[in-house]
Amino acid sequence: MTDKRKLIAVVGTTASGKSDIGIDLARHYGGEVVSADCRQVFRGLDLGSGKVTPEEIVGVPHHLIDIINPNDFFSTHDFQRLAYEAIDGIHGRGRLPFLVGGTGLYVASVTEGYGFSNTVPDLEYRDYLETLETEELYRRLVEIVPDTDVDPKNRNRVMRLLEKIHDGDDGQVHNDPRYDVLKLGITWDRDVLRQRIDERLVRRVQLGMIDEVRQLLADGATVEFMMKLGLEYRFITRYLIGDIATQEEMLELLGIAIKQFSKRQMTWFRRDKEIVWLDMNDKPLEEAIRLIDAFIK
């Protein structure tokens, strides 16, 4: 038995429908949602980030959406700190918190209780690391910590450890989980997911996703910032600045990139053996409710 407070994490791949299920579950339990998405924290990044609409979230309070402006710096440590505040506040109101999103590092920082140093990040050093290939980053880490067990292909993790070492930390991860967590996973078979990605991309373009990016740039979002966001924002920005010749070519390249990203997401989440993957072909919401009922009792 544990006396830690309960947290439900709803995670999964892009275009899987995890936001919808997270909202349905929060509504069922009278809970609140904490978004775990590295792009939805930014104001104005709506269609490209898949941000839920006011119509979709009616009756379900959401946290960590639209909290900073484009171009502002926001780290995993920032996310963890604000997520802890939001989750503790939800508990304080006697409600059940749902951590919902597909940014694996954000989710893990909360569910695993990542330890961070209190030093101020060296942004120049971080920008320098961004210029290096993942293999070179890992080689540098091994030179400093020969026995590291970090995945050499996990760029974010390798960079984070290099930054910790640079800031005077020991480069090791010291986790201290704060909550008792039930992790629910949302995804689909490969062919179904690919179709969902294609359909969602078409729908977002029709709703004005390209104009959204055009407006963000006009309002002062830098090309560098947009490129770092990846996927929709990177490829549409490349199209708007003339790096990609046609809209058709851009959408084709973007569709491929999103599908590759979904595979990387699954690689990340599949490492976590605590995630219970819902059967999306057989009443996943009912299955989730059964699991949550047993968990919170």
pLDDT digits (tens, 9 = 90+) for 13-34: 999 999 999 999 999 999 999 9
Q: What is the DSSP string of 15-40?
A: TS-HHHHHHHHHHHHT-EEEE--TTT
- What pLDDT is recorded for position 119? 64
Distance separating alpha carbons of residues 286 and 72, to the nearest angstrom: 40
Predicted local confidence at residue 164, as pLDDT = 78
Residues 6+ apart with CB under 8 A from 75: 121
- Read off φ and ψ for residue 28, nearest 5 degrees: -60, -40
Structure token pair of residue 251: 């959408």
User: Positive or negative CA dihedral for 163, 168, 171, 176?
Assistant: negative
- Tokens read off for 195: 């179709």
Handedness of CA 156, 254, 52, 217 (dihedral sign): positive
Does the predicted model carry a pTM greater than 0.75?
Answer: yes
Residue type, 192: V
pLDDT of residue 84: 98
Query: What are the residue ranges in the chain where pLDDT is below 70?
Result: 1-2, 117-121, 168-173
Ranges of beta strands (E only) in 23-174 are 32-35, 62-63, 97-101
Which helix or strand (DSSP H or E) is residue 217 part of? helix 209-218
Q: Which residues are CB-contacts of 2 (< 8 A; sequence separation ≥ 6)?
A: 180
Q: What percent of the chain has pLDDT over 90?
A: 75
CB 292 within 8 A of CB 276: no
Q: At what angle do helices 155-166 and 123-130 cross, to 10 degrees?
A: 140
Q: Judge contact between 34 and 184, C-beta under 8 A.
A: no
Q: Which two tokens stand for residue 20?
A: 């919808």
Q: What is the pLDDT of residue 170?
A: 56
In what order do the strands lie in the sheet containing 62-63? Answer: 62-63, 32-35, 97-101, 6-12, 180-186, 275-277
Do residues 170 and 117 touch, judged by C-beta distance below 8 A? Answer: no
The C-alpha atoms of residue 142 and residue 156 are separated, in whole angstroms, by 15
Give the distance from CA 264 to its chain's centroid.
12
